[in-house]
Amino acid sequence: MPLEILTIPCLSDNYAFLAHDASTGDTALIDAPEAGPILTALADRGWTLSHVLLTHHHWDHIDALPEILAAHPAQVVGADADAHRLPPLDLAVVEGDSFSIGGETVQVLDVSGHTIGHLAFYMPASKAVFTADSLMALGCGRLFEGTPRQMWQSLSKLAALPDDTIVYSGHEYTEANARFAETIEPGNPDLQSRIVAIARARAVGEATVPSTLALEKATNPFLRAQSQEIQQVLNLQGADLEDVFTEVRKRKDIF
């Protein structure tokens, strides 16, 4: 059976996630932005935390961990490459590693770009990938540490997952990302439909995360370097796809 996955709004625009295996009781937290909402969600459901999966070292993904572990001692999993600036890890992992949460196998992907050592956690049986600030809803993370090449390689790796994969990203940035996406691919009908759906959701306070990989591939400009319209808008017709992505990221940085 697939894991039950709960989206938890935290801080002003962060998301954490709980992934629960009903058969074993194992429950994993993906990232720890704010203790209160996470502890409340666990208590409301009577779940006990067994794992914490950390995607990267930024404060808004790890700062609540001590308070959460005080209430729920759990195995902390994070990148071996990032261990020097993450909270203490019980399991340090690298790309290609896997481990189990209940009956679910979790595959580790290196998606460096936003930071060096940023991880994504892919759960194929549950058709879920937790991408934090790498692939985001209609966007990708700003390149604070990595290069455009690294981020393009990371996004290409994620784009190769099955189209029905559900993408659990780390922030509610979708509305702002949509405004940018429309400037470089206004003729994309899938994007226009998504913009309408985003506006309706946000008008009533609904989250736009998670999304599906198929939807991201159809609408997210950071996955659409092959789009002829985007290439024309950027005056990069026929250019290497990595160069198109680099220009998209550069324009988003100043948007």
Question: pLDDT digits over 119-174, tens only?
Answer: 999 999 999 999 999 999 999 999 999 999 999 999 999 999 999 999 999 999 99
Residue 248: what pLDDT? 98
Give the per-residue pLDDT at 165: 98
The rounded distance, in Å, linking the Cα atoms of 131 and 90 is 21
* Per-domain residue ranges of the chain: 4-169, 176-253
3-state secondary structure 134-156: CEECCEECCCCCCCHHHHHHHHH
Question: pLDDT at position 102, please?
Answer: 94
pLDDT at 208: 97
Minimal CA–CA distance to 242: which of 155, 182, 158?
155
Q: How confident is the model at residue 1 (pLDDT cuts 50, 70, 90)?
A: confident
**Cα separation values, 58 from 11, 39, 67, 174, 189, Å:** 14, 20, 17, 20, 35
This prediction has a pTM of: 0.97
In the annotated binding site for Zn(2+), the residues are 56, 58, 60-61, 114, 133, 171
pLDDT for the residue 75: 98
Percent of the chain scoring above 70 in pLDDT:
100
| Residues in the annotated binding site | 56, 58, 60-61, 114, 133, 171
Mean pLDDT along residues 237-248: 97
- Return the sign of the alpha-carbon dihedral for residues 129, 14, 66, 86: positive
pLDDT band at 94 (very low <50, low <70, confident <90, very high): very high
Residue at 108: amino acid letter: V
Q: How many angstroms separate the CA atoms of 70 and 193, rounded? A: 45
At 169-222, the pLDDT tens digits run: 999 999 999 999 999 999 999 999 999 999 999 999 999 999 999 999 999 999
Q: What's the CATH architecture for 4-169?
A: 4-Layer Sandwich (3.60)
